[in-house]
Amino acid sequence: MTRVSDKSGVDALNFALNKVKSKIQNLQLKGASLKNINKPSDDPLGSIKVLKITSRLADNNQYLKNADKAISRLYATEDALTQLSEILLKAKELAIGQSSDLYDARTRKNIAEEVRELKNNALSVANKRIGVRYIFGGFSSLKPPFTKDGEYLGDGNYMTLEVAKDYFVPINLPGSEVFITSEPISPGSRDPLKYFPELKNKEPTKEENKALKRDIASKYEAPKEFHKGSNILAQLDILTNALENNNAETVRGLLEKLDDSLSRIISMRTKVGSVARNIQHAVDTINIDKINDIDYRSKILDADVAELFSDISRQNNVMKTAYHSSKIALNQSLFDWLR
């Protein structure tokens, strides 16, 4: 008969007890954290999936922050365009009224003051900002994009933000696109008829000369790099000058150009609204993806509490049984083996 040494039996019992203790310790750690995976070795494949989902969730959170910033900038731009369209609409109403020959020079001069205030309001809109950044300056957003004379100091660049994976959207409109659509011309004296060649060769009547009592051309200097009549600020300046000079022909000639500018602003409002709507659609998609990712990560990572504590109770019973068996085995002597 072969006798197993006492040391071999003790080692086998210690191995069994340590194995049960290790299982109980892991279960207790899962119970404390309520996580199935506390270290990569618990589930290597599951750990990789959890890391990928966590990374995707972090990206989506940043996309949502970018989207909030983009929508804020676009809403501010849309509000500015709304104000500008109201200014142009009011200027057009005044121009339509003063294009009639029913009004005299004094009336038009009074209306010119109102148009001058409209131009100041338009300049205020042109230099609108959020925080320290001007919304119509392009990349050059830390200084006012327009001078008081209407000179544009910004650039024609668009700032973009990524609001979804590989989806970049513009969050601004450069002032050159909003207020200016033509090439700059050389500075010089600003003639109200300069940009209306169809009216330039028409000679004023004696009655008009008598009412004007001065030359029709304005004598003050134009700002550097002044732009043609499609410049909104220039149009308001020209309208002011025409009213001051009691020139109904120039006022009538401005009506079509004011219509074009108003149509351009309305188109830009539509463009801004379309971009904001697309951003909101991207935000909705990201929120749905976040819910799905969180649910999937929970299924991989989170422990089933009922099953977990059932396993702990079962392992505790196994350990008690192992202790009882080891007690019986270790208390046996050589005579017990010889019986």
Q: Residue 320 pLDDT > 80, yes or no?
A: no
Lowest mean pLDDT among 93-102, 160-169, 195-204, 232-241: 195-204
Assign 118 a pLDDT band (cuts: 50, 70, 90). Answer: very high
Give pLDDT, residue 220: 29
Give pLDDT, residue 182: 41
Q: Residue 265 pLDDT > 80, yes or no?
A: yes
CATH of domain 63-286: 1.20.1330.10
Contact 175, 138 (CB under 8 A): yes
pLDDT tens digits, 124-172: 999 999 988 999 999 999 999 998 888 889 888 899 999 999 899 999 9
Q: What tokens appear for 252 in the block?
A: 């009538």
Question: Which amino acid type is present at position 200?
Answer: K
As a residue count, the chain comes to 339
Give pLDDT, residue 323: 66
Mean pLDDT of 26-55: 77
Mean pLDDT of 214-232: 44
Q: What is the DSSP string of 87-132?
A: HHHHHHHHHHHHTSTTS-HHHHHHHHHHHHHHHHHHHHHHT-EETT
Domain segments of the chain: what residues?
A: 63-286
- Better-scored residue on pLDDT, 226 or 168: 168
Contact 330, 25 (CB under 8 A): no
Q: Cα(231)–Cα(226) distance, rounded to whole angstroms?
A: 9
Q: Cα(55)–Cα(51) distance, rounded to whole angstroms?
A: 6
Q: What is the pTM of this model?
A: 0.67
pLDDT tens digits, 73-90: 999 999 999 999 999 999
Q: Cα(53)–Cα(51) distance, rounded to whole angstroms?
A: 5
- Compute the mean pLDDT over every residue in the chain, rounded to the nearest whole number: 78
Q: Residue 288 pLDDT > 60, yes or no?
A: yes
Assign 11 a pLDDT band (cuts: 50, 70, 90). Answer: low
Give pLDDT, residue 2: 53
| First-last CA distance in the chain | 12
Residue 334 burial (10 A CB sphere; 0-12, 13-18, 19+): exposed
Q: Residue 37 pLDDT > 80, yes or no?
A: no
Q: Residues 208-238, buried b or exposed e (16+ Cβ, 10 A)?
A: beebeeeebebeeebbeebbbbbbbbbbbbb
| C-alpha dist (Å) from residue 312 to 13, 18, 77, 224 | 21, 15, 61, 83
Contacts of 10 (CB under 8 A, 6+ apart): 330
